[in-house]
Amino acid sequence: MKKPSKSLKKYRVELVGLVTRSNEIFEKQLSYISAGAIAVSMAFVKDITGNVATTSFKALLVAGWGFFVVTLLINLLSHIWAKNKHNKTIGEIDAGKYSRDHALRGLRQINLMNGFTVATLVLGIILIVLFMTLNL
């Protein structure tokens, strides 16, 4: 078994730190997104319309909520995926089987999922704001 180089050992330490920080950030993001989506929709219904049944364009509200749900689910899956990828890379470094190309491929997949999450969040926000604007 080939021993990891000094730079790989350093990279391994960085990955362990990244996994830890990722876990902490994920919990905050999930809480903020959930609380924000709930607060915006509740404040709108309560303070502006008083009753969602009397509003127009309810499909925008439902679609906005749907995008928030998709955001939360993809964010959760992305976090789990990233954690597994980082742990796999740590194991490969420990076993002397590290492949930079393999690690970069995993990072590209994680970035794609994160980009999709950002897109669904933005779409959800746009739809909720549009719903609010049309019902003022």
Coil, helix or strand at residue 50: coil
Q: Are 77 and 114 in contact (CB under 8 A)?
A: no
Question: Angle 6-43/58-94 helices, nearest 10 degrees?
Answer: 170
Q: How confident is the model at residue 27 (pLDDT cuts 50, 70, 90)?
A: low
Report how far residue 111's alpha carbon sits from residue 48's, in angstroms, rounded to the nearest whole number. Answer: 38
Q: Are 110 and 82 in contact (CB under 8 A)?
A: yes
* 16 token code pair: 């362990």
Q: With a threshold of 0.85, does the pTM exceed it?
A: no
- What digits encode the pLDDT tens for the residues 63-100? 998 888 888 888 778 778 888 888 888 888 888 888 87
pLDDT of the residue at 23: 65
